[in-house]
Amino acid sequence: MRKEDCVFSEPVRTALLKDKPVVALESTIISHGMPYPENFKTALQVEDLVKNNGAIPATIAILQGKVHVGLDRQEIEYLSKKGKSVWKCSTRDLAYVLAQKLDGATTVSATMVIAHRVGIHFFVTGGIGGAHRGSETTFDISTDLIELGRTPVCVICAGVKAILDIPKTLEVLETQGVTVITYGQEEFPAFYFASSGIRSHIRVDQLEDISRIFAMNRRWNLSSGMLVAVPVPQKDKDTADRVEAGMQQALEELKEKQLTGSAVTPFLLERIADLTGGDSLKLNIELILNNAAIGAQLARHYASYQTDSSNRDVQI
- Known catalytic residues are 26, 161
Q: What span, in angstroms and rounded, lies between the C-alpha atoms of 240 and 274?
A: 15
- Bond from prior residue into 11 cis (ω within 30 degrees of 0): no
Long-range contacts of 38-45 (CB under 8 A, 24+ apart): 38/281, 38/285, 39/80, 39/83, 40/76, 40/77, 40/80, 40/81, 42/285, 42/288, 42/289, 43/76, 43/80, 44/73, 44/76, 45/285, 45/289
Side-chain half-sphere of 198: how many Cα atoms within 13 Å?
Answer: 21
